Amino acid sequence: MSKSMSSASKIASAAKNGAIQLLTFRLNEQEYALNLANVVQVVRMVAVTHAPKTADELEGVINLRGKIIPVVDLRKRCGLPAKPHDLDTQLLIAQGNGRMVALAVDVVSEVLALPPANIEPTGAIGAELEFLSAVGKLGDRMILILDPVQVLKETNGALANNRI
């Protein structure tokens, strides 16, 4: 929980010091974002080597320029309906908790900067939102800002226990 608060605090702190940079993407028609500081790069879906006896959301691993990176289906991780990967599916290479992971997302949208007034930490909303650190507002858009530490929490445990 303290790690979640830490990520929320970082977003709040960044927001107070100016606009926060976010990479937005879509899952199941909802707009999500990650702090740009947690994003390494975005690549097209590539062949995934499936590993036996892994957590459901762990699809396997990819070889990205000689580095083996686990692939997590973010739809499954967030409890959304499964969707087969297609030509639009992208891998968002992110890091959190000192680990690099490829997150399979429907499509990456844009990089945007949100001003402090447009960002509400989940604590201010008054609801326990497990994978979110904040909610961004931009016009009529609502952007769910993911907390990479929480999203990768159990995934990292699976990796550490050699389940992939």
Phi and psi of 87, rounded to 5°?
-65, -20
pLDDT digits (tens, 9 = 90+) for 79-125: 889 888 888 899 999 988 788 899 999 999 999 999 989 998 877 66
Beta-carbon neighbour count of residue 79 at 10 Å? Answer: 9
> Is-above-0.85 flag for pTM?
no
Non-local (6+) Cβ contacts of 8 within 8 A are 121, 122, 123, 133, 134, 147
Given a cut of 80, is residue 128 above it in pLDDT? no
pLDDT digits (tens, 9 = 90+) for 26-70: 999 899 999 999 999 999 999 999 988 888 889 999 999 999 999
Could you tell me the two tokens for 3?
């790690």
pLDDT value of residue 132 = 87
Residue type (1 letter), 155: T
pLDDT value of residue 160 = 45
Residue type (1 letter), 138: L
Phi and psi of 93, rounded to 5°?
-85, 115
Could you tell me the residue range of the domain that residue 19 belongs to? 2-160
pLDDT digits (tens, 9 = 90+) for 48-58: 999 888 888 89
Instruction: From 111, 150, 141, select the one nearest 10 (Cα to Cα).
Output: 150
Could you tell me the two tokens for 9?
């605090």
Considering its fold, how many domains does the chain have in total? 1
- CATH number for the domain spanning 72: value is 2.40.50.180
